[in-house]
Amino acid sequence: MSKTVLITGASRGIGADTARLFAAQGWNVAINYNRSGARADALAAELKAQGTAVMAVQADITDVRQVQDMVRQVQAQFGGIHALVNNAGIAQQLLFTDITAEDWDRMFDVNVKGMYHCTQAVVRGMIDSHVGKIINLSSIWGIAGGSCEVHYSAAKAAVIGFTKALAKELGLSNIQVNCVAPGVIDTEMNAALPPDALAQLKEETPLGVIGQGSDVANLIYFLASDQSNFITGQIISPNGGLVI
């Protein structure tokens, strides 16, 4: 029986690249989206044409009832969920003095609470089956901190703490929990950065390049595969050497 992966925020960017890679490896793929329905449907159609068992499923991950309904739909379609990729997230650049309470709450709702909702919704099934992989997406700024991104950095640091603690708790259930903390990646999110800022980040990166979504997807897939069965609680940062 094919394994099933649920990827949040999978209609674009790193999430879409990850969905394509899992599909190419023969997994059933559940593509979560919130507002990008057309993109999610197009990606699902693309993967289905290649022979993948795939579904696009809408849910606002900050809403626990929507998350629970999403997980029930995926389980009804494919059976158990063998891997969860908590990819959905938002970013924002603001001076700390300009961050509003609403900005702060939204940042944590999507990047932290959404991860918590999705993980809790799938983990009981993983515990029952005594197998599972959970991969959480953080950022280099969750490791090193980013100027003008205090709320983003704090939320992504919380993802790291969540990963380490949950890995310890779920280890005896044979569930591996790991975190991927990408550097500067060529995505729509980073395309909003000023060109001179991107150029500076590229210059500061020892490998001298901006990462691609596939660079991150390859690592996510490795952590979901059986090749990573002895790896848990780790924070792995594909960043070209920008943060060492």
Q: Which residue has the tokens 């790291």?
A: 160
Q: Which amino acid is at 143?
A: I
Q: Is 0.85 topped by the overall pTM?
A: yes
Q: What pLDDT, on a 0 to 100 scale, did the predictor assign at position 1?
A: 72
Give 217's pLDDT tier (boundaries 50, 70, 90): very high
Is residue 13 in some structural domain? yes
Judge whether residue 21 has pLDDT over 90: yes
Judge whether residue 18 has pLDDT over 90: yes
Is residue 186 in some structural domain? yes
* Residue pLDDT, tens place only, 81-114: 999 999 999 999 999 999 999 999 999 999 999 9
Q: What is the mean pLDDT of the chain?
A: 96
Is residue 242 in some structural domain? no
Q: What pLDDT, on a 0 to 100 scale, did the predictor assign at position 187?
A: 85
Cα 147–chain centre separation:
23
* Of 87, 113, 233, 79, the residue nearest 170 (C-alpha): 233
> How many structural domains does the chain have?
1
E strand map for 101-155: 132-137
CB 123 within 8 A of CB 117: no
Q: What pLDDT, on a 0 to 100 scale, did the predictor assign at position 69?
A: 98
Is residue 231 in some structural domain? yes
Give 146's pLDDT tier (boundaries 50, 70, 90): very high
Query: What's the mean pLDDT in 15-37?
Result: 98
CA–CA dist 167, 21 (Å, integer): 25
1-5, 61-65, 152-156, 196-200: the lowest-pLDDT one:
196-200
CATH of residue 33 = 3.40.50.720
Tell me how long the chain is. Answer: 244
Is residue 243 in some structural domain? no
CA–CA dist 229, 145 (Å, integer): 30
Query: Which residue stretches of 130-207 are H helix?
Result: 140-144, 150-170, 188-191, 195-204
For the chain, give the percent of residues with pLDDT over 90: 93
Q: Which of 33, 116, 152, 221 is catalytic?
A: 152
Q: What pLDDT, on a 0 to 100 scale, did the predictor assign at position 189?
A: 75
Query: What's the mean pLDDT in 132-139?
Result: 98
* Residue pLDDT, tens place only, 148-205: 999 999 999 999 999 999 999 999 999 999 999 999 999 877 777 788 888 898 999 9
Query: What's the mean pLDDT in 195-223?
Result: 94
- The residue range of the domain holding 120 is 4-236
Is residue 115 in some structural domain? yes
Q: What pLDDT, on a 0 to 100 scale, did the predictor assign at position 190?
A: 77
CA–CA dist 15, 5 (Å, integer): 12
221 is catalytic: no
Is residue 244 in some structural domain? no
* Of 67, 75, 18, the residue nearest 43 (C-alpha): 18
Is residue 138 in some structural domain? yes
Q: Which amino acid is at 167?
A: A
